[in-house]
Chains A and B, each alone.
Chain A
Amino acid sequence: KAGVTQTPRYLIKTRGQQVTLSCSPISGHRSVSWYQQTPGQGLQFLFEYFSETQRNKGNFPGRFSGRQFSNSRSEMNVSTLELGDSALYLCASSLLGTGDEKLFFGSGTQLSVL
């Protein structure tokens, strides 16, 4: 069974640009969660999608957005990039997305903003 796939693995952007990251969950998983990981802050929750609906959102500015498609694949978008957005962005999938479930993570997209 294929794991969670995130593309691209690495991205370099400049301030003010926008970026789109992609996540393909494990087959059969309907929930996709996104996290931002930085050395100082650890893993911070961005948002969670289930059946194309955002059910929960973390404390991030509106520049961070996401969506989920009918096949459960998800994308997140960051507009007007800032230097502080440099981080590892991780996607995790699970069957239902409830807080008691095991999460399966992809290897992440390393975003560098110059």
Chain B
Amino acid sequence: QKEVEQDPGPLSVPEGAIVSLNCTYSNSAFQYFMWYRQYSRKGPELLMYTYSSGNKEDGRFTAQVDKSSKYISLFIRDSQPSDSATYLCAMGDTGGFKTIFGAGTRLFVKA
């Protein structure tokens, strides 16, 4: 079993839709949770960063962490064609010297 599970999609939505992306994990030591966005032929870039459980909002993006269920989510409101990319969840703990990534979900937003 992988430490982090993420549905690879693809996920196709119309412009303006609300998008929900999710990951589950098994290692209870993870305390830091991130979402990276990767455009084609580019490296991933950090989109959202949260510590422990709770919500964090940044513009159209909201990240949620539920440590009791070992479940994290990313919501995108009013999705745009420019949001079309691969979204990777990632997590780590302070002393682990590594960040573990999910497989990534490919998102297509159609105009």
Residues of A that sit less than 8 Å from B by CB = 4, 31, 33, 35, 41-45, 48, 50, 55-56, 58, 90, 92, 97-103, 105-108
Contacts and interface: CB of A to CB of B under 8 A. Distances in A.
Contact of A107 (B32, B41, B51, B95): B41
- Interface size on B, as a range, is 20 to 34
Contacts of B18: none
Nearest first, the 7 closest Cβ-Cβ pairs linking A and B are A99-B92, A105-B43, A42-B103, A43-B101, A99-B96, A100-B32, A56-B97
B98 A99 contact: yes
B44 A43 contact: yes
A99 B93 contact: yes
A100 B100 contact: no
Interface in B80-111: 88, 90-104
Nearest to B49: A102
B44 A48 contact: no
A41 B102 CA distance: 9
A104 B28 CA distance: 25
Contacts of B44: 43, 90, 103, 105
17 contacts: A41-B103, A43-B101, A44-B101, A45-B99, A56-B96, A58-B98, A90-B43, A98-B97, A99-B94, A99-B99, A100-B32, A103-B46, A103-B99, A105-B44, A105-B45, A106-B43, A107-B43
Given A45-B99, A103-B90, 7 more contacts: A31-B97, A42-B88, A48-B98, A56-B98, A90-B44, A103-B44, A107-B41
B104 A98 contact: no
B104 A99 contact: no
A45 B93 CA distance: 15
Contacts of A42: 6, 8, 88, 101-104
B60 interface: no
A50 B97 CA distance: 9
A55 B97 contact: yes
A31 B99 CA distance: 12
